[in-house]
C-alpha cells in the first residue's frame, strides 16, 4: 500500500460533517480532525461558548473549512434549523458525531435527583434520537455515511458515583446498535465511542487528585490517561473509508481499563 493510498483511507474529502458539543476538549479536537481530513465541518455549542468565534479562529489559524453554529441539542426546533441550514448551505450531510454531554452525578443513586437524570437523558439520549431521525434520511439520500454517538465506559461498568450518567451512556451504546441494524441497508454505519478517563476539564476531579489518579492508573494497563486526540482519531477512523466495515460497535478507548483485572 502506498502513502497516497493510506492517506485516501483516512480522507473525508468532499464530505460534510456535524459535531455537537464541539467548542472545546474532545468535540473540538474531533471537529479539527474532520476538517483536516477534508470535510467541511460544522461545529456546534451553546450560546455562551460562542461556537462561531471558535470556528472562525480555527478557519483563520489553520485554513480549514470549519463553521460554527449555536445549538442547544435539547431544543428540537434548533436541531431542525441546524439540519435545514446544512442542507441549504451544503446540499448534503455525510458524518454526524453526537458528542454533546453533561455529567451531573455527585453521589450514589440514593443521593441523585430525578431532575439530574432527566437532564442527562435529554442531552444524551432524547437529543441523539431526534438528531438521528432528522439526519439519517439526509445521509441516506446522499448514498450513505456515518453516525457516531459519544458513550462512555461508565455505560459498561458498575459505578459508585456516575450511576445515572452511566445509565444514559449504556443507552447510547444500545441506540448505536439499534440504528446500525435499522440503517445498514442504506449504507449508513452507526457506532458509539466509549472513552475512559480523558485528560480534560470533565475528568479533572480524578486527574488532579493524586490518590484518585493513582488508583485509576493502577487499574489501567497502559498506566496513563487519554488525550482528546485519541477520541478524535477514533472518530476519524470510523468516519473514513478505513472504518467502512465497522458498524454497531461500542469502541472502548480507555487504555485497557475495562478489560483489566
Distance, CA of 128 to CA of 149 (rounded, Å): 8
Q: What is the mean pLDDT of residues 96-116?
A: 85
Q: What is the pLDDT of residue 100?
A: 97
Are 144 and 188 contacting, i.e. CB atoms less than 8 angstroms apart? yes
Q: Give catalytic residue positions.
A: 165
CATH 3.40.50.720, applies to 3-199+228-251: yes
With a cut of 80, say whether residue 111 has pLDDT above it.
no
Q: What is the mean pLDDT of residues 169-188?
A: 98
Residue 78's nearest CA partner among 59, 107, 51 is 51
pLDDT tens, position by position, 121-176: 999 999 999 999 999 999 999 999 999 999 999 999 988 888 999 999 999 999 99
With a cut of 90, say whether residue 106 has pLDDT above it.
no
pLDDT above 70: percentage of residues in the chain: 99
Using only C-alpha atoms, the chain has a radius of gyration, in whole angstroms, of 18
Q: What is the pLDDT of residue 250?
A: 98
Q: What is the pLDDT of residue 167?
A: 96
DSSP lists the bridge partners of residue 246 as none
Residue 75: band (very low, low, confident or very high) from pLDDT cuts 50, 70, 90: very high
Distance, CA of 21 to CA of 27 (rounded, Å): 6
Q: What is the pLDDT of residue 2?
A: 94
Distance, CA of 122 to CA of 79 (rounded, Å): 13
Contacts of 218 (CB under 8 A, 6+ apart): none
Residue 113: band (very low, low, confident or very high) from pLDDT cuts 50, 70, 90: confident
Q: What is the pLDDT of residue 133?
A: 98
* Domain range annotation of the chain: 3-199+228-251
Q: What is the pTM of this model?
A: 0.95
Across the beta sheet with 40-45, what order do the strands follow?
66-70, 40-45, 16-19, 95-98, 145-150, 188-195, 250-253
Average pLDDT, the chain: 95
Amino acid at each position: 500500500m502506498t502513502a497516497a493510498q493510506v492517506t485516501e483511507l483516512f480522507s473525508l474529502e468532499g464530505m460534510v460533517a456535524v459535531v455537537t458539543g464541539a467548542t472545546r476538549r474532545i468535540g473540538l479536537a474531533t471537529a479539527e480532525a474532520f476538517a483536516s481530513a477534508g470535510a467541511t465541518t460544522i461545529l456546534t455549542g451553546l450560546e455562551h461558548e460562542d461556537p462561531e468565534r471558535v470556528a472562525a479562529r480555527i478557519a483563520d489559524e489553520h485554513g480549514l473549512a470549519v463553521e460554527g453554529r449555536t445549538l442547544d441539542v435539547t431544543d428540537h426546533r434548533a436541531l431542525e434549523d441546524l439540519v435545514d441550514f446544512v442542507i441549504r448551505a451544503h446540499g448534503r450531510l455525510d458524518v454526524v458525531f453526537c458528542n454533546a454531554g453533561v455529567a451531573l452525578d455527585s453521589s450514589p443513586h440514593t443521593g441523585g435527583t430525578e431532575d439530574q437524570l432527566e437532564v442527562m437523558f435529554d442531552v444524551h439520549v432524547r437529543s441523539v434520537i431526534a438528531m438521528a431521525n432528522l439526519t439519517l434520511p439526509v445521509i441516506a439520500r446522499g448514498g450513505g455515511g456515518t453516525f457516531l454517538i459519544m458513550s462512555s465506559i461508565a455505560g459498561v461498568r458498575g459505578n459508585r458515583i456516575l450511576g445515572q450518567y452511566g445509565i444514559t451512556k449504556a443507552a447510547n451504546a444500545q441506540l448505536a446498535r439499534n440504528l446500525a441494524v435499522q440503517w445498514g441497508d442504506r449504507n449508513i454505519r452507526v457506532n458509539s465511542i466509549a472513552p475512559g478517563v480523558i485528560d480534560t476539564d470533565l475528568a479533572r476531579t480524578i486527574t488532579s487528585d493524586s490518590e484518585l489518579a493513582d488508583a485509576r492508573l493502577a487499574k489501567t494497563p497502559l498506566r496513563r490517561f487519554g488525550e482528546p486526540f485519541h477520541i478524535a482519531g477514533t472518530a476519524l477512523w470510523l468516519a473514513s473509508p478505513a472504518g467502512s466495515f465497522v458498524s454497531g460497535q461500542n469502541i472502548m478507548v480507555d487504555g485497557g481499563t475495562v478489560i483489566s483485572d
